[in-house]
A and B are shown apart, each in its own frame.
Chain A
Amino acid sequence: MAVSDQDMATGIWNAAEGDEADARPHLGPRQRWARRKAILQQAAVLLLVAAVAVFVIRNTVVNLQARGLASGFDFLRQEAGFKMAFSLIAIDPTSTYGRIFLAGLLNSLLVAALAIVAATMLGFAVGLARVSPSAPVRYVARGYVELVRNLPLLLHLLLWQAVVLRSLPVVREAIGLGGFAFLSNRGLYLPAPVAGDAKAMVVAVAVATGIAAIVAGWSIRSRAQARGEAPPRLGLVLAAGGLVSNAAAIALLDWQVPVLAGFDFRGGLKLMPEFVSLVAALTIYNSAFVAEIVRAGVQSVARGQREAALALGLPPKLILRLVIVPQAMRVIIPPLANQYTHLIKASALATVVGFPDLVNVFLGTSLNQTGRAVEIAVITACVYLALSTSVALATSAYGRRVKLVER
């Protein structure tokens, strides 16, 4: 450390007292006492926490030995010997606990992702209706929000499970949705594509380029609109081309339509009722909260903004899209991300209705079978903490970016 003359001088001043505060020579006796007190306090708290930790760990070790439970993470490579009612990757009784964990995690993520998308769309619609110029629309939206958010999520879930899905007809009398999809009390049957590998690649590429074209066309059009110019033809052509390419790709696939055979439908994709009710309950419950977040965001935009836009002659639709929503987003995003974290965590309710999510198959069945309570709890905790941390990190990154734009 480079020591200046002045520091040397004061160092000599303090040398008489001879303690570690030499590094900060300007400290008086009071401050030094405060520093020492701070260090002592922290040491005391840390010691207390360490003592509790030692106590807990000792108890756990003794208890585990008393119950004859094995420990270690080797069970992840053992055969689990059970099946999952629904999984995105193939699971059979010879699958390992590690694979079961992965399948459960994927199921949890699938439920959360679907519900997040659906709840956001529904919530934005209801939230914008909450600030609609038409009073009846506002009242209806308010009624929806108050009805939905004051009921426990678990009640939503059980209601969907018991009342809505059980009142659906049996498989034989399934409600046909256009002859392609069927809805019965055993779940929702959707047509699913069956494609050879080569064909699937072609289709995937076509769909990807199609979507890219649509997005590009749309953004060209809306940018031109924002500048008040006539929308260029290129945007329209791109968007139309994308649509055609997507339609062609979808038509190119071999669609397997579910067909009633015996007691159940064959072919296509079967979504179990637990899955449907879980996604529905999560969507509806969270949409009410998203709606309130959106309403607060829109109302946070100063009224002068709208009035200025009106004075500039912007049509109402564009005012909402170009003036209100972008400014509201700054207020909306942080609580919205918070709500997403809630939703991800709430997807663990799958356990109650028996949908095989992470908590159900891992913290439930796997723990019961292996008895590795500590290991499984630690893994589960890490997964959820990683999920909520990543949402939080993404939000704070967004927050920083928005702040920079603002200043």
Chain B
Amino acid sequence: MATTSVSGNSRAPATAAGRLLATAVANPFGTLVVLGLAYLAWTLGLPIVDWAFVNATWVASDRAGCNPDGACWAFIVNRLPQFAFGFYPEAERWRAWIVLLAPPLLLLLAMAPDFPGRRRILVVGFCLYPIAAFVMLAGGVLGLAPVPSEKWGGLLLTMVVGLGAFVFSFPIAILLAIGRASKLPAIRLLATGFIEFWRGMPLIAILFMSVIMLPLFLPPGVEFPRLTLAMIGITLYSAAFLAEVARGGLQSVSRGQSEAANALGFGFWAMQGYIVMPQALRAVLPGIVNSAISLLKDTTYVMVVGLFDLLNIVNAALSDPAWLGLATEGYVFVGLVFWSLCFGLSQVSARMERDAERNQSRTPSGERKAP
């Protein structure tokens, strides 16, 4: 902003220190802020380091065994299996491990160098994941012992709810986006109304309602577990937001594309599936990842309907009499897990955005739509 013109008498090249000084003088407010923050970091940061690392206890059997001056990470270490899997029975944990590790493995595959069929494996893998995970965890088929969904919890539940809602909401979102862009007024109206309803409601209220209202809507005698009810609510909520993202993508595809497809004799669905949607979704890929990030963070709301996701299971563990008063440790742990997941995903989205920009500026026709 304020580039001070250093009077041009001396031509000596500015040293780093000199430039720093010039910036500091030019921008006294900024300098003040920096000095204040440095002081704060010094006075606050040292005790935090002391607490989190120097005086921390990693191994102990209860609160009393922890150094009271430092963090009691032993609480987290002792409870780690529970935080990961909830109350999933010990003998069947291998199933939970598979479900928990499948998405990271698929992601690794996505990062790996290309080989024939990789894309198909990825798409099929992610699409089948929710159903496969559900079957794997619930059991009752293929000789797997049944485990009721009330026992699922922790990071496992966060993963199942988050990824499940995301994958299920995707086709709904695409249909809604196509519907909202449709020329048929009845369909456009229905899609718009649906999207605006689910976007306008707070997720908390949606969850409450799906647990209270959905059983009323179902035929008498049909009962779903809470997890399913909550999943339905989150899926529709997420579908409405994704539909808006997809709509943005649809708008970015020039009309010539669909007209060309029509001229070549493509039917409506073939045109959408082969020509329009691939371009539309690629254009809004960062937006899709951002929706996934918000969805991941929003899965914590299932706490209000009594499901034990990662945040709620830590929250519940805080009232264990052997480990009282460790809220800070518990929340810092949850925070680290969520932060790394969300930050990682946001870096992916930022990279996609940069790549897209580079590709776009390389296109010769220069057909760029204003955002």
Contact = CB atoms under 8 A, between A and B. Distances in A.
Interface of A: 38, 41-42, 45-46, 49, 56, 59-60, 62-64, 66, 129, 132-137, 140, 146-147, 149-155, 158-159, 162-163, 166, 306, 316, 319-320, 341, 345-349, 351-352, 359, 363-364, 367, 373-374, 377, 380-381, 384-385, 387-389
A282 B254 CA distance: 39
Interface string B213-226: 10111111000000
Contacts of B301: 154, 349
Given A147-B339, A150-B339, A348 B205 contact: yes
Contacts of A147: 339
A150 B293 CA distance: 8
Nearest to A43: B186
A134 B338 CA distance: 31
B143 interface: no
Nearest to A45: B187
Given A60-B217, A154-B300, A385-B200, A136 B34 contact: yes
A373 B184 contact: no
A140 B35 CA distance: 12
Contact of B27 (A133, A152, A352, A359): A133
B303 interface: yes
Given A151-B335, A155-B300, A158-B311, A133 B204 contact: no
A374 B311 CA distance: 30
Contact of B327 (A163, A359, A380): A163
B202 interface: yes
A381 B201 contact: yes
B339 A352 contact: no
B334 A359 contact: no
Contacts of B201: 345, 381, 384-385
A155 B338 contact: yes
A153 B331 CA distance: 12
30 contacts: A38-B184, A46-B190, A59-B218, A59-B219, A63-B216, A63-B218, A66-B220, A132-B27, A133-B2, A133-B27, A134-B23, A136-B34, A136-B37, A137-B30, A137-B33, A140-B33, A152-B300, A153-B297, A154-B301, A155-B311, A158-B331, A159-B335, A162-B331, A163-B328, A316-B1, A347-B202, A367-B212, A373-B216, A374-B213, A385-B200
Interface in B294-310: 297-298, 300-301, 303-304
Chain B interface size range: 35 or more
A406 to B, nearest CB: 13
A155 B216 contact: no
A60 B203 CA distance: 22
Contacts of B147: none
Interface string B1-38: 11100000000000000000001001100110110010
Interface of B: 1-3, 23, 26-27, 30-31, 33-34, 37, 183-187, 190, 196-197, 199-205, 208-209, 212-213, 215-220, 293, 297-298, 300-301, 303-304, 311, 315, 318, 327-328, 331, 334-335, 338-339, 342-343, 346
A166 B186 contact: no
B331 A381 contact: no
Contacts of A153: 297, 300
Please list the 8 inter-chain residue pairs (A to B) with the smallest Cβ-Cβ separation, ordered nearest first: A134-B30, A345-B202, A150-B342, A348-B202, A162-B327, A42-B186, A388-B200, A152-B297
Nearest to B1: A133
B245 to A, nearest CB: 12
B72 to A, nearest CB: 14
Contacts of B334: 155
Given A60-B217, A381-B205, A151 B338 contact: yes
Contacts of B212: 367, 373, 377
B6 to A, nearest CB: 15
A64 B215 CA distance: 10
Nearest to B325: A166
A183 to B, nearest CB: 19
Contact of A352 (B31, B304, B328, B342): B304
Given A46-B186, A152-B311, A388-B199, A132 B1 contact: yes
